Amino acid sequence: MVSIRPCQVSDLLAMQNANLTCLPENYQMKYYLYHHLTWPQLSFVAEDEGNKLVGYVLAKIDENNPKKGHITSLAVLRSHRKLGVATKLMKQAQAALVETFDAEVVSLHVRKSNRAAFTLYHEILKFKIQEIEKEYYGDKEDAYSMTLALKPEHEMTIKDKDLKKEEKKPEPIKKAAKKAAGKKK
Ligand SMILES: CC(C)(COP(=O)(O)OP(=O)(O)OC[C@H]1O[C@@H](n2cnc3c(N)ncnc32)[C@H](O)[C@@H]1OP(=O)(O)O)[C@@H](O)C(=O)NCCC(=O)NCCS
């Protein structure tokens, strides 16, 4: 059985390793620490019966808009996919954004080729495509910029134009730091 709980500082290394295993977008440890110290309520981990981390969601509040949340990263280990873990992680993060920060909307980026994640966001969680950001990723692949309203329309103060502001891209991990974090070639 997999359980979901808030992220603790002791999870950050396992979270970074899961990210290195699952995604081409990797971050330095200081970025995970910054997230955790700044928005401790917004990131969650999934763990198995043996307390091994099998998934995580890293979320934050947009530095330019306190009512807008952003999903920085989401991953589930291959061994635990298609069990609804990512859906649960995302729903926890969305609920925490509303409960803790009274967020009205949450945004994210996803590679155009990432069918699994796109289907999860679009079909299951009902995110809408806001725009296509050309060559958003380091390897020049385009991103869908997607948003989900967390409140009914009449309670929203955020306007459409606010949603198109570009998120600051996190600093990518250096090759040496990636090796040190244990990535196999
Ligand atoms: C994308 C990812 C997080 C999904 O995790 P997951 O725990 O397997 O997702 P869930 O079990 O909650 O899936 C929910 C729904 O998403 C869709 N989905 C998930 N994996 C899919 C796949 N491989 N192909 C198509 N749709 C998929 C399905 O609609 C699924 O519902 P279903 O199981 O009823 O068909 C996981 O595949 C992953 O970690 N991928 C690598 C990292 C990544 O791409 N992260 C997102 C970056 S934006």
What DSSP string describes 113-125? Answer: T-HHHHHIIIIIS
| Residue 117 Cβ < 6 Å to ligand 1 | yes
What is the 157 CA–ligand 1 centroid distance (Å)?
Answer: 31
* Inter-CA distances, 175 with 3, 14, 21, 169, Å: 33, 18, 14, 18
In the chain, where does DSSP find H-type helix? 12-22, 29-38, 85-101, 115-119, 160-163, 175-180
| Residue 58 Cβ < 6 Å to ligand 1 | no
- CATH number corresponding to 3-167: 3.40.630.30
Q: Identify the burial level of 89 via C-beta atoms within 10 angstroms of its C-beta, where 0-12 means exposed, 13-18 middle and 19 or more buried.
A: buried
| Residue 97 Cβ < 6 Å to ligand 1 | no
Question: How is the chain split into domains, by residue range?
Answer: 3-167
Given a cut of 60, is residue 184 above it in pLDDT?
A: no
Instruction: Please choose from 17, 76, 88 the residue to mutate so as to test ligand 1's pocket, defined by most ligand atoms within 8 A of CB.
Output: 76
| Residue 114 Cβ < 6 Å to ligand 1 | yes
Name the average pLDDT for the chain.
91
pTM comes to 0.90
| Residue 74 Cβ < 6 Å to ligand 1 | yes
Given a cut of 60, is residue 185 above it in pLDDT?
A: no
| Residue 165 Cβ < 6 Å to ligand 1 | no
Greater confidence (100 vs 178) lies with: 100
pLDDT by residue (tens digit) across 19-41? 999 999 999 999 999 999 999 99
pLDDT by residue (tens digit) across 67-83? 999 999 999 999 999 99
Q: What atom in ligand 1 is closest to the CA of residue 76? A: 39
What is the 86 CA–ligand 1 centroid distance (Å)?
Answer: 7
| Residue 89 Cβ < 6 Å to ligand 1 | no
- What does the pLDDT read at residue 90? 98
Q: What atom in ligand 1 is closest to the CA of residue 111? A: 48
